[in-house]
Amino acid sequence: MDNQKEVIENKNSEKDQSNEKKSNNCFFVGEERWIENKKLDKDKKSKIKLFFKKYLLLDNVNFLFGTGSSIHLGAESIQEIPKQISEKIEKNDDVNNLFKKLKEKYEDRKLLDVKEEIEKGNDYLIWENKINDLEEELKSKLKELEIQKDKVNLKEIIVKNKLDDSEKEKIYKLGVEVKLEDFLNYLYALKYLMKQSEGLISKNELKTEIDIKKLGQLIETIKEAIFDMCDIDKISLDSNWFLNKKENKEKNKEIKDKMEKEGRYSYHKSLLTSLLQRPLNLRRANIFTLNYDLAFEYACDELGIEYINGFVGFNERNFRPEVYNYDFFFPGDTTEGKVRRIERVIKYYKLHGSLNWVYKNQNKNNPYGLYEIPIELVRMKLANETNNLGDIMIYPTSSKKEYTLNFPYSELFRKFADRLQQPEAVLFVVGYSFYDEHVNDIIYQALGNPSFTLIIVDFNGTKNEGEIKKLNDLKDPRITICQGEELGDFKYFSKELLPTIDQEDTRAKVMSSLEKLYQAENDKKQEE
């Protein structure tokens, strides 16, 4: 009997070890490797929660969110040109023909850049799966592929293999990527050049037969498609591409069930609830986001949270950055006239703009010319039902470093930089892969602040061979990196890892009671 028990225990131990090896969870604090490619157990999870709690209780708490925080809602990364954008462009022949022509010119230019880099002797890494684009004969010829964590070095492929010129050309082309931000930047630059040179330089001198009006239509078509992709409240759970993925089917069903039961913004609400339970003697938590979607706005509405987002006004909500210096208090009700701060408030900054921001002419009442309008009005504008709302503020271009020096973004980024330079500042970076140079600059400058702490939560993390790996290689004890299927996931982070500082959320109980009460009333009316 004892032998049988021992055999079972050994099998269970082997199974646990196998599960640990399969997990890609990592938790790095400077040089320390708390967890590396292992499953989370109860003790490790508790240790991480206590670690986060320590930082949430600092006076200056900041969060920066990227696309990874909205993926489960059906949002998509716009690093490459998404299928939805291509499909929308294809519906208009004139715009589609121009798109193909300019995309081809852009790819030719990028091909020259790839060749130049490799000829200089520089490494040029691409994702390994791009090799599958090659024909079988050439693939079999590439015997010595230097794979570095899912990436292949093009320079080494060309050096180590005897290839003729046509084969080299095919290898070079693997390095050509058409990123939406870069491509849009190219379109904007082209439009600007054509507009500024009108009447001064002929089309022949510009070496182009492009109609500036059609170029404007192409840019607008792309912006409209981006709007549709980011308008997550219109994406049903059944048509959500993330929830319909074949891999992780069981896990995705669990996520979908939770969102159906608690609301689609359940994970955003969990995060906000944790922030609101910080002691009232601390400064307001600051939420910075690079996303255009309204996920946090919807979550705040459902939780009854006031957010200070830089806009004032009733009929016309216009941008006034001084609003970030305001706060909310209960009026004094004692003879001393003491006031008490309202707890359900956050400060909210949309660094790259928002779906419901529009630009109109600047005037004395609104020197920035920026307005916040209801999302329904923006949808009406795009459906050509109304025209007098202004221009939609969506500009996902790689020239954002220059672009953000203009209003109103200069003010928002100034606030971001200022918050990170405060004493004992902590920045949680969630779902952002460090692709925006102008954002990275501010974070790197903050590392010059001795009391600054950086905590990165990203699914791939150090495995992307990019900026996050560089930060990890610094082995700076002020830098923490969480990555993997659980530790790098926004949903798990907000529900399981952020500590609930108060053990009980009374408001959640109130909302639950009201929901049951009104459901009972509705059922009663239906019976009558």
pLDDT digit string, tens, across residues 337-351: 677 788 889 999 999
300-312 average pLDDT score? 92
402-425 average pLDDT score? 81
DSSP run (H or E) holding 483: strand 479-483
Residue 171 contacts residue 154 (beta carbons within 8 Å):
yes
81-94 average pLDDT score? 88
% of the chain at pLDDT higher than 90: 42
Q: Decide which of 469 and 383 is more confident.
A: 469
Phi-psi region of 439 (alpha: psi -120 to 50; beta: other; left: phi over 0): alpha
pLDDT for 333: 60
Of 141-145, 243-247, 359-363, minimum mean pLDDT range: 141-145
pLDDT for 81: 85
% of the chain at pLDDT higher than 70: 83
110-136 average pLDDT score? 86
251-265 average pLDDT score? 93
Work out the angle at residue 147's Cα, subtended by the Cα atoms of residues 145 and 150, and round it to the nearest 5 degrees. 135
Confidence of residue 295 (pLDDT cuts 50, 70, 90): very high
Long-range CB pairs of 522-528, under 8 A, 24+ apart, other chains included:
none
How many whole angstroms separate alpha carbon 452 and alpha carbon 506? 33
Q: Is the pLDDT of residue 133 over 70?
A: yes
pLDDT for 403: 46
pLDDT for 405: 44
Write out pLDDT tens, residues 29-67.
999 999 998 888 889 999 999 999 999 999 999 999 999
Claim: this prediction has a pTM higher than 0.75 = yes
DSSP run (H or E) holding 58: none
Tokens matching residue 484: 């993997």
Q: Decide which of 72 and 507 is more confident.
A: 72
Spell out the residues 6+ positions from residue 333 whose beta carbon is closer than 8 angstroms to its own: none
Confidence of residue 334 (pLDDT cuts 50, 70, 90): low
